[in-house]
């Protein structure tokens, strides 16, 4: 099993550019989420989804959009990148009482 | 506001020593307390977890101690090894279901010196 796959692994954007971070899982998990990891801040929840067609905001949703058209995919969109969005982004999934399964992250730099 | 406070931010321990990481929480509705381990370039992975109906849980060299009245819990790594060098996150959530929002601590970077 591939588990949770995130692409790309690295990305550099200029301020104002847009992009989509991809996340796919092959475990048929209904719950998927996006976190950002910043030094000294831990992991902060951006958006999450409890199933296809259902999304909700987490702790730091501003500047990010998500959609969940299929069980497998949960892309994160940055509409107009800002330097404050420089971070490492993690996608995670789970189902039932299993723990969160994380991808290996996307390191994003906004200049 | 930070609902789960973790300390220390970084920790250096000699090989064979005991590593101790502490966390405190505020929300008394939290009833699931996992610890995640993260190696460089990888995502976090569940290490061990506890529920508040027990005061201690041990898995190999890793032990969680839980103090419900003080709203504190800690991770102890016995006989610490260089392979334990990683970043550790404590976390908390209310409810064990997949829809629960897990709140993470700020992380502790642990280095084990040979």
Residue B1 confidence (pLDDT): 53
Residue B23 has pLDDT above 80, yes or no: yes
- Measured in degrees and rounded to the nearest 5, phi and psi for residue B67 equal -120, 95
Measure the CA angle with vertex B47, ends B89 and B111; round to 5°. 60
Judging by DSSP bridges, how do beta strands B103-104 and B86-92 pair with one another? Answer: antiparallel
User: What is the chain A residue with the closest CA to B8?
Assistant: A40
Closest CB to B106 among A41, A50, A104? A41
Q: What are the pLDDT digits (tens) for B80-95?
A: 999 999 999 999 988 7
Residue B99 confidence (pLDDT): 57
User: What is the chain B residue with the closest CA to A39?
Assistant: B106
Residue B98 has pLDDT above 60, yes or no: no
Mutate to test the interface with B, among A100, A101, A102, A103 (most CBs of B within 10 A): A100
Mean pLDDT of B12-33: 95
- Chain A CB within 8 Å of residue B99 CB: yes
| B60 Cβ neighbours under 8 A, 6+ residues apart | none
Q: Give me the sign of the Cα torsion angle A53, A100, A89, B27.
A: positive
Share of chain A above pLDDT 90, in %: 88
In angstroms, the separation between the Cα of residue A101 and the nearest Cα of chain B is 7
Mean pLDDT of A63-68: 97
At B9, the pLDDT band (50, 70, 90 cuts) reads very high
Per the CB < 8 Å rule, is B43 touching A4? yes
Asked if B5 and B23 touch (Cβ cutoff 8 Å), the reply is yes
| B69 Cβ neighbours under 8 A, 6+ residues apart | none
Ramachandran quadrant class, A84 (left: phi over 0; alpha: psi -120 to 50; beta: rest): alpha
């Amino acid at each position: 099993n591939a588990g949770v796959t995130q692409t790309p692994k690295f990305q550099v954007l200029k301020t104002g550019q847009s992009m989509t971070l991809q996340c796919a899982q092959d475990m048929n998990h209904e719950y998927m989420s996006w976190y950002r990891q910043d030094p000294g801040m831990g992991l902060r929840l951006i958006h999450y989804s409890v199933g296809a067609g259902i999304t909700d905001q987490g702790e730091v949703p501003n500047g990010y959009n998500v959609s969940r058209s299929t069980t497998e995919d949960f892309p994160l969109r940055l509409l107009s990148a800002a330097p404050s969005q420089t971070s490492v982004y993690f996608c995670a999934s789970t189902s039932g009482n299993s723990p969160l399964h994380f991808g290996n992250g996307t390191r994003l730099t906004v200049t | 506001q930070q609902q789960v406070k973790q300390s220390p931010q970084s920790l250096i321990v000699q090989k064979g020593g005991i590593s101790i990481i502490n966390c405190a929480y505020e929300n008394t509705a939290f009833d699931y307390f996992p610890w995640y381990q993260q190696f460089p370039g990888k995502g976090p992975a569940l290490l061990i977890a506890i529920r508040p109906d027990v005061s201690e849980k041990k898995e190999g060299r890793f032990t969680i101690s839980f103090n419900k009245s003080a709203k504190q819990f800690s991770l102890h790594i016995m006989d610490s090894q260089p392979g334990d060098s990683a970043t550790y996150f404590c976390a908390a959530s209310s409810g064990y279901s997949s829809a629960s929002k897990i709140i993470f601590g700020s992380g502790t970077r642990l280095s084990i010196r040979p």
